[in-house]
Chain A
């Protein structure tokens, strides 16, 4: 399901025009982005949890050249599916 199909499904469910549905999604994504920038965690029941995690800096070694690199620390958005969602995707995969 790509973005277009997603928008189309959403618009049919909400009874919106596709254009408006896309606008709403953009708005929601902007809001989510702003929230995650602040380091908030979003937990959606029966779906999963979005969380911003901090990864520390680390030294990695290029195995072929033996060169050592310092990878900077970063903040990463993490998603963890709840058991309910896992179960349903599992079932969907079997069909």
Chain B
């Protein structure tokens, strides 16, 4: 059995995909992994809409481009994006990365991803913090996809605002009432067409963990 930590630490978000289809059995395993995520009171509020139709994916891609681009254009105009990517020293490369972001192209890859899975949660059958349950399901999906050799990405852009979330629901025929279903993201799945640099920088555990009380960074002797 593969060490789960190897799967976790080698996963990365994939945004460029080959056009090759993903076999049904592989999609089923991704969904099966989602089904076994932890869930408050065993409510299992998650529902999934699996989308392979090109026209539907185009609509989702367009919505994602506008959703991300509208914010990042403003962030660029305010100077925030330039600060965030100041680490890229090559000015030509930096400018291209910034354009990729503020144009919204960074988020429109649902067009190329052969499978898009909308992750929604029912609010009508009892629930405890639905977004947390759905987030756990998404992590399971991404790890299962990666363990099978597929790429995946958790995409929040097209549903980030209330108005965009409604548009997203309308595209997929999901009831739009605020008391019916919550949509938190979609997961793109496909064969990776990029080899991203890995691992990306992560904070050290020493900077994240306290022992026994908040702020106490030194591990006490135990036992």
Please determine whether chains A and B interact with each other in the same assembly: no
